[in-house]
Structure 1
Amino acid sequence: MRSCFVAVATLVFSLSLSLGAVAQPQPPDHPLVGRFAGAEVVAAKDTDFDALTVPLGPAYRDENKVMRFKASEEVEGKVTWRLYRVPKGKSVLQVYRNHERALKQRGFEPLFSCTGNRGCGFFFRQTLKLGALREYAGVSNEESYRFLAARAAHDKGQTYVLLAVYEHSFDLIRDLYGRTLVDLRVVDVAPLKDEITTVAKPTGKGGKEATAPVTEPLPFTSQDLATSIAKEGRAAVNQIYFETDSAVIKPESRPALEAIAQLLRDNPGLKVLLVGHTDNRGGLQYNMDLSNRRATAVRDALVKHYGIAPARLGAAGVGFLAPVATNTTPEGRAKNRRVELVEWPPDVK
């Protein structure tokens, strides 16, 4: 009981500090989302790069008593979190509908929405960990809180929004008691910046320093890919590497993925079909499946780590049905193992 009291007291103290800071300059809103008129930020956090789980279905507790969402997607990028306190007299539904309409007007498409425990699942609030209040969120009416997950594609990539609106009833925090709160999480999908530095270590006699291995430069640029597609309708990329007999992309593939992503950013009207090709080691059906899984892995990487809209990418595999070199030599097989970017008409789904 004492530990519970300490936890609650700590929570009250930390939130009092947040609430006391309301008079200070307010943290900026996310430019694509904004806030309800008159709402004040009571807690905020910005992270340059992090992962966020986007609920795509109700929550439940599995056979191991672990709380999960029935469906979800994990996205990575810059995360903006705000907890807003709405002016008195504004209902959960009123605030939610305003945000819902504003998001739609700004190009967001809904991915999942739910209301209360019946629609969201009894464990939804705990699994989502609503704002700074977490399990002490104190939703006064467990059937009235509302949640929306939405996504927008734009020229800089993709943005995901997680919106939760609820009434607070934890009466130890008087400044929040009975007020409608908005828990808003926004992820601007972006790749992780390379911030690792390698310190050379002395090796051999004389204390000579060994330098870190350097990634070979790509033999092409994103502009070269664009030129190839414009002239031939396709562009071949041999510099995406996979684990043997696997669709797991190796880290050294990053420069090629970045070039493809840059191509798509520079040409916002371009759609491409990613076509996987293999050598002829193994059976036809095996290689058809492997090439399809590899093309799908490339598509997923471009969506998840580089913010490319899924609607602009397709994936297919043709195994070893379209070689560009002989499969009787290692050099020829290496040329045949590739991913091609095939121009995809914008009006074709």
Structure 2
Amino acid sequence: MTDTLRLFLVGLFLANPALADLQLTFPAPATETFSETEEFGSYKLPVGPYADGFVQTLVAEGQQITRAWRIDIDVGTSLLVMDNLRQQLEASGFELLYECTTEVCGGFDFRFTTSVLPEPVMHVDLGDFRFLSAQRLGGAVPEYVSLFVSRGADTAFVQMILVGSPDEVSLTAKSGGKVAQVAPAIPSVTFGSVTETMLRDGHAVLDDLNFETGSSALGEGKFLSLIDLAEYLKANPEIRIALVGHTDAEGSLQGNVNLSRKRAQSVAARLSQEFGVPSSQMEAEGVGYLSPRASNLSEEGRTQNRRVEVIITSTQS
């Protein structure tokens, strides 16, 4: 057994599970990429897969701790990472509420409708991720936790959201090496550009696009947002993106989902045919009116909701 695998099998708890602080033991040197504590938060904890346009959730309220780590690991899969962390949660008194793999979770739709930190602090490979949610009922108020785990070529990415009483919620982490706390490097891009926004916020709206009314046909013109995005993608062939179409709330859900997907596909086709971006770097999806950024009660809001966004989905070729 390698030292890495041996470290993977330790880290369980000797304290009373109902009273123990939550401690995580990682299998290798870990970089904490994000840490935030809200004194009071309301978190929609997924307890089921994406189905019929939404993810079944449980509303967890209390102090909310959100953390993310990048783990340098040369062996193992996302299953091995999740199995190890699940054992530690169960040893600390947490009971499993829901667990799923990529396809069972709902793939792209589950990831997109679930609270996930943006690139580069948290990376989710749409072909390989795992999720679980759990609860612990031993204290004055229930505690809830979710874990998102994904893999790169030689790196594991972990996001944890922990919600409970400020007097009882405590989270510490250690690893087989020094735990660094540094911001991940972000590729150099033009300030204020679509790619700068995408890398900073995890997504960016392609605001200068235009479509014919009720049509998926992308208007004529090169569009500065597409020029910027194409240059970045061709300079960084390891990056993969998803183009996500959105609509206003007029019409049926299925009709809007279909229209939004076709608009995203039109953008992908333009990037490939006119700007030479390899199709292997892109995928196109649509969510209809399920993710508005403004009220659908006004024309101005509906106009803002009709859009195509871009998100990074993978940094692996």
TM-score normalised by the chain length of structure 1 = 0.38
In terms of fraction of residues, the more helix-rich structure is 1
In terms of fraction of residues, the more strand-rich structure is 2
Q: RCO greater where, 1 or 2, for CA within 8 Å and sep 6 or more?
A: 2
The structure with the largest alpha-carbon Rg is 1
